[in-house]
């Protein structure tokens, strides 16, 4: 990993940590003020909702303007969102802050991923750089909530005081400024000019390409597995009588395993093939989901969670590498926007479906149904092995 990539990863960590910290602190403040669980659920959904609608325009904007201009706008939006919560810590302002910080993180992520993909040369380097870049969210999902929690507990006169929340929001407003510090010195890639054929390109035209369509289906299936694990483990642990700390440890083991596999993957990137890794991850996930609800103890659940983290954590770098090989260079931003829109749309809708499904078929049935679907989807991933990279655009 070179210095330029390290700076971009640091920038990604800072703006993503700002959103992750807000996503932890804002619901806690809303609960302290007496808002219902339903209201808190709406607040949490707003962090992903903006990304659903802004992902595609943000991708197009990145295609036209490169890296620094989209990141600069994202930094301004994130600072305004967290800063507003600092000055007016009311529920309405927290909702606005969720929209601003969520959308800003999505837009910055698309611009960063597009730039890193364009700077890489060849499949091996794509796998390496996206493996390094995928470590950023894992780090920020720890840094943001951890720092916000410390300030909430210790910056005020007592734990949970308003001053503690204001201190947390102040830090979340400063972190995006650090993103601009890391990114502003990056050299822009030369623009890609598409051939003019008299027709206006539409993002949905990308879905007409079989390879890209299969890739989105596979990405959606694996993202749903991540969501169902996060949703079901607390319910399964509660059903088994496990304590909150044990349940948190099981989920933490999953996150650590996902981060570890992403650290190791760049070291063996030249020996990996994207379609093989993704297919293996889908088969492994299906098998682990089959046995997960049958495990009797916290130790066995934790071990299965680690294995699942290895499987699902290996997927994102491979998906990103294939996406950059399957789409024309002048449309990478649009393709990344479509992918982010699908993932965040799933994160908004799927928990509602999981809740309904678990009431009908039980937690075990939900695990088995999702595992069977992912296992069947492995055939779609395997068919990606024959897809040829997209040809370069005409000058």
Biggest alpha carbon–alpha carbon distance for the chain: 66
pLDDT at residue 200 in the model: 55
- Residue 390 in this model has a pLDDT that exceeds 60: no
pLDDT at residue 146 in the model: 82
| Selected residue with higher pLDDT from 323 and 102 | 102
Confidence of residue 391 (pLDDT cuts 50, 70, 90): very low
Q: How far apart are CA 350 and CA 345, in angstroms?
A: 8
- Residue 199 in this model has a pLDDT that exceeds 70: no
- Residue 195 in this model has a pLDDT that exceeds 60: no
Q: How far apart are CA 104 and CA 75, in angstroms?
A: 7
Q: How far apart are CA 183 and CA 197, in angstroms?
A: 35
Mean pLDDT of 175-202: 74
Q: How far apart are CA 99 and CA 352, in angstroms?
A: 20
For the ranges 119-133, 164-178, 196-210, 217-231, the lowest mean pLDDT is seen at 196-210
Please state, for a pLDDT cut of 90, what percent of the chain lies above it. Answer: 16
335-360: pLDDT as tens digits: 777 777 777 776 667 666 766 666 67
258-271: pLDDT as tens digits: 888 888 887 776 77
Q: How far apart are CA 376 and CA 206, in angstroms?
A: 24
Q: pTM of the prediction?
A: 0.76
Confidence of residue 288 (pLDDT cuts 50, 70, 90): very high
- Torsion from C-alpha of 195, 219, 107, 29, nearest 10 degrees: 170
Q: How far apart are CA 274 and CA 325, in angstroms?
A: 11
pLDDT at residue 84 in the model: 94
- Residue 101 in this model has a pLDDT that exceeds 90: yes
Cα 87–Cα 91–Cα 97 angle in degrees, nearest 5: 60
Q: What's the mean pLDDT when you consider all of the chain?
A: 81
pLDDT at residue 352 in the model: 62
Confidence of residue 327 (pLDDT cuts 50, 70, 90): confident
235-247: pLDDT as tens digits: 777 777 777 667 7
135-155: pLDDT as tens digits: 888 788 778 888 888 888 888
Residues 6+ apart with CB under 8 A from 100: 50, 77, 78, 80, 81, 84
The angle, 0 to 180 degrees and rounded to 10, between the axes of the packed helices 91-119 and 3-32 is 160
Query: Per the structure block, which two tokens stand in for 145?
Result: 């909530």
Q: How far apart are CA 319 and CA 216, in angstroms?
A: 9
Please state, for a pLDDT cut of 70, what percent of the chain lies above it. Answer: 88
Q: How far apart are CA 218 and CA 226, in angstroms?
A: 13
Mean pLDDT of 174-179: 94
- Residue 74 in this model has a pLDDT that exceeds 90: yes
| Selected residue with higher pLDDT from 354 and 321 | 321
- Residue 229 in this model has a pLDDT that exceeds 60: yes
pLDDT at residue 147 in the model: 84
């Amino acid at each position: 990993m070179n210095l330029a990539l390290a700076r971009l990863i640091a920038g990604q960590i800072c703006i993503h940590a700002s959103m992750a910290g807000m996503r932890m602190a804002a619901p806690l403040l809303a609960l302290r003020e007496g808002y219902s669980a339903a209201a808190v659920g709406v607040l949490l959904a707003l962090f992903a909702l903006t990304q659903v609608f802004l992902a595609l325009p943000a991708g197009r904007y990145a295609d036209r303007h490169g890296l620094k201009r989209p990141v600069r706008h994202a930094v301004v939006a994130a600072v305004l969102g967290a800063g507003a919560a600092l000055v007016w810590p009311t529920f309405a302002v927290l909702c606005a802050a969720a929209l601003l910080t969520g959308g800003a993180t999505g837009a910055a992520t698309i611009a960063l991923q597009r730039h890193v993909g364009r700077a890489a040369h060849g499949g091996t380097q794509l796998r390496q750089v996206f493996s390094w870049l995928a470590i950023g969210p894992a780090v920020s999902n720890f840094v943001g909530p951890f720092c916000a929690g410390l300030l909430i507990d210790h910056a005020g006169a007592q734990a949970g005081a308003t001053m503690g929340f204001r201190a947390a929001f102040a830090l979340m407003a400063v972190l995006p400024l650090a993103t601009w510090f890391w990114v502003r010195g990056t050299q822009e890639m030369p623009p890609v000019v598409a051939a003019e054929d008299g027709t206006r390109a539409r993002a949905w035209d990308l879905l007409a390409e079989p390879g890209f369509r299969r890739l989105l289906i596979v990405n959606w299936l694996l993202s749903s597995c991540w969501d169902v694990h996060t949703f079901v483990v607390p319910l399964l642990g509660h059903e088994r009588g496990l304590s909150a700390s044990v349940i948190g440890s099981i989920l933490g083991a999953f996150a650590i395993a996902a981060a570890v596999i992403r650290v190791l993957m760049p070291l063996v990137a030249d020996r990996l093939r994207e379609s093989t890794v993704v297919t293996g991850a889908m088969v492994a996930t299906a098998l682990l989901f089959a046995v997960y609800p049958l495990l009797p103890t916290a130790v066995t659940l934790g071990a299965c969670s680690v294995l699942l983290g290895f499987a699902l954590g290996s997927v994102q770098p491979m998906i990103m590498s294939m996406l950059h090989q399957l789409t024309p260079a002048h449309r990478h931003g649009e393709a990344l926007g479509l992918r982010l829109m699908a993932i965040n749309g799933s994160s908004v809708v799927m928990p509602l479906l999981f809740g309904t499904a678990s009431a009908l078929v039980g937690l075990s049935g939900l695990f088995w149904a999702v595992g069977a679907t992912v296992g069947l989807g492995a055939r779609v991933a395997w068919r990606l092995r024959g897809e040829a990279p997209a040809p370069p655009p005409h000058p």
